Amino acid sequence: MRFLQHALAALSLSLVAITAGASPASPQNGVDYRTLDKEQQTDSGKKIEVTEFFWYACPHCNAIEPSLVEWVKKQGDNIVFKRVPVAFRDSFVPQQKLFYTLEAMGKLDELHKKVFDTIHKERRQLDTDAAITEWIVKQGVDKQKFLDVYNSFGIQSKARRAAQLQTAYQVDGVPLIAIDGRYLTSPSIVGAGMKGASEDALHTGTLQVMDWLVARAAKDKGTEAPKKAK
């Protein structure tokens, strides 16, 4: 019996060690994050620029959204947070234009989450100009004003710029988080070292790596490590 107790105790300690090792508290380059060969220019001054590359129809982007929003709130004024909608295919472009149109009309805070909910909770596709227009009218937005912005040269230019950023940051999947134009991490990158972890655990691990990278970027800039808002 005593042998069995010792064996169980040893097994418990082993499981604790495995669980503790699964959390990327000390991120490793090439394991928990990647470093771009060519650093990208940012326009955030002394603040750390954090950019999420995402796609509205991506279930993983939808899943991490609540945790990411909370993380951004905790960072407060220490970072400049941006989103870039990707387009791996031409069929992604309408959602790119939707994002930038909502942003231009000052409707992003109000409707960004509703886009995710419509696609992933209500199971409605918003992947064509017609479907998006029909949906936006139901949200109480003036149809003609929306279309004027949606089809404008400015929105088309932003979509082209998003494609350039997607290439420059070597985006091969979403969600992908870029820190200060140099470092990249994501649940899929972190997941390589957290075999079998749940999606929630991967989100926690990713945000932990992001904390570490923000602090590192601040140190690289010679600024004080950012303090989170309470």
Contact 109, 69 (CB under 8 A): no
- Indicate if the pLDDT at residue 180 is higher than 60: yes
Q: Which two tokens stand for residue 221?
A: 């800039």
Q: How many helices (H) and strands (E) does the chain have?
A: 9, 5
Examine residue 203 and state whether it is found in any structural domain, yes or no: yes
CB atoms within 10 A of CB 174: 22
Q: Are 54 and 174 in contact (CB under 8 A)?
A: yes
Q: What is the pLDDT of residues 133-157, one digit of tens each?
A: 999 999 999 999 999 999 999 999 9
Residue 173 structural domain: 33-220
Number of separate domains in the chain: 1
Element (H, E) at 184: strand 183-185
pLDDT tens, position by position, 11-33: 343 333 333 444 577 899 999 99
Q: Which amino acid is present at 113?
A: K
Residue 211 burial class via C-beta count within 10 angstroms: exposed 0-12, middle 13-18, buried 19 and up: middle
24, part of any domain: no
Which CATH number characterizes residue 145's domain?
Answer: 3.40.30.10
* Strands of 34-35's sheet in order across: 34-35, 183-185, 176-179, 48-54, 79-85
pLDDT at residue 9 greater than cutoff 50: no
Q: Quick one: pLDDT at residue 225?
A: 55
pLDDT for residue 25: 78
- In three-state secondary structure terms, 183 is strand
Calculate what percentage of the chain has a pLDDT beyond 70.
Answer: 87
Q: Tell me the pLDDT band of 2, cut-offs 50, 70 and 90.
A: very low
Per-residue pLDDT at 23:
52
Q: Is residue 26 part of a domain?
A: no
